[in-house]
Amino acid sequence: TDFDGTIFMQDTGHILFDRHGCGTEHRQRLDEQIHTGARSFRDVSEEMWGSLNVPFDESMKEMKEHLVIDPDFADFHDFCIREGVAFNVISAGLEPVLRGVLNEFLGHQVSERIDIISNAAEISADGSEWKPIWRHDSQLGHDKSLSVKECRAHLRKQLPGNRNPLIIFVGDGVSDLPAAREADVLFARAGLRLEEYCREHNIEYIPFDSFADIEREVLRVL
């Protein structure tokens, strides 16, 4: 599953950029450059993260104050553990931020059971420098389609008879578009960009409003 806008209702980066970086208006202009194709996701993201000036611990206080988690996510994650469904986060964000947020909202014991596939980062002690270390050498920084393919290949080796695993992907926005065609079952948060993209390109998907919707559908699939 994606993280920003999917597990959490807001974007972790946007919260920080608006309060401790380039500011809301400039961030919105940069977002528009991504949507129009004027600049790459990686290029714009580097500018946004590079604008930050906030210590990491202070950034986690901002997350705790302003983020809202999907009310049914914790129950869904418990469901995955009970049913033996391998659960991973695939994100275009920064791993230290995502891990810190999961620690804050779910506790370390639950957080450590969630693998995060995202970008690394170098963050100075005083918070004056935030530098993404991109997972892939591409305009996306983290190409989620490659991560899904890598996951499928890894799991296939573990299954008897070289069978294909069933890949379920959950997302909401523009950074999820590359992964949309790679999943066997695709969930798109209702009313957002991923759903719009699926409609435009005739990609089969299941809309959802909360992870309770996803749990019901995954149980049916199982």
By annotation, the residues acting in catalysis are: 2, 4
Dihedrals phi, psi of 40, to nearest 5 degrees: -75, 160
DSSP for residue 22: S
Strands (E), 5-156: 88-94, 115-123, 130-133
94-98 contact pairs (CB < 8 A, 24+): 94/13, 94/49, 94/118, 94/119, 94/120, 94/121, 94/130, 94/132, 95/119, 95/120, 95/121, 96/56, 96/120, 96/121, 96/123, 97/12, 97/13, 97/16, 97/59, 97/63, 97/121, 98/3, 98/12
Bridge partner residues of 90 (DSSP)? 117
Q: What is the dihedral of CA 186, 191, 192, 195, to 10 degrees?
A: 30
